[in-house]
Structure 1
Amino acid sequence: MDDLSIIDQFTQTFSQYIDSGFGLIAGDVGYLSSVLVAIDITLAGLFWALLAEDNIPAQLIKKVLYVGFFALLLSNFKGFADIIFQSFAGLGLKASGGSLTAADLMRPGFVASTGFTASKPLLEKAGELVGITTFFSNFATIA
């Protein structure tokens, strides 16, 4: 339990493989998104032609905004995810008042080491109070 940096190495390797894998399928995701957008617009056009409503331009603008927003989310997902992570990490770290930084949260081995260091004295004291005979002699302390 002394070297918890192996978790950091695993996380770094895993993240590199995931990031490279998403780069490989970006073309397929773009093609699939384009096909889905084309199907959505085609179905919307068919419904507009069959319903004969007067409010078609407003519905067209609404549909374009929905599709555009979805495309924006897909194309900038990594940036949005980073912004959200940094925001929540900053809020949590400010609320806790600790000495950790947002970069430290991306190192799970460091976080585990900090938790292990903080809990070690508590676990040692609990170990002193637990046992078959010591339980009854320390019952007032435990309760």
Structure 2
Amino acid sequence: MTATVKYDEIEVGLQIPAVDYPVRRVDLVMYAGASGDFNAIHWNERHAKAVGLPDVIAHGMFTMAQGGRFVTDWAGDPGAVLDYGVRFSSMVVVPDDDNGAVISVSGVVEEKLDDNRVVISLTARSGDSRVLSKARATVRLA
């Protein structure tokens, strides 16, 4: 766990460096078990291609969770996140190889609010595609 970020040490415009989150098909199978979403497009290449997808794709909520993980790791406290929302803008295609895919998440502090709150704008990419848009989190810092 990272050190807790202090509100007084944060400035608007602060760039939060990117973190890469690897995604392999086994991660999607484990997520399916945890979430109950066993749609075959998330684990079966033949089925995914039959419905017009390029390959197996990550669950949207799995992708969103990586953005949430980025924020909680940065803040140093999972309970610090007060609000978090995204729009899904592209798929995370997960090939069946040792490398899988990577979701790269970075952020910038957009606003400082009262009561030790900050608004963070996130960028999440996989390959050449932005996979989350309008991704923002409001976080209460120490």
TM-score by length of 1: 0.22
Kindly indicate whether structure 1 or structure 2 has the higher relative contact order, using CA contacts under 8 Å at least 6 residues apart. 1
TM-score by length of structure 2 reads: 0.22
Greater strand share, structure number: 2
Structure with max Cα Rg: 1
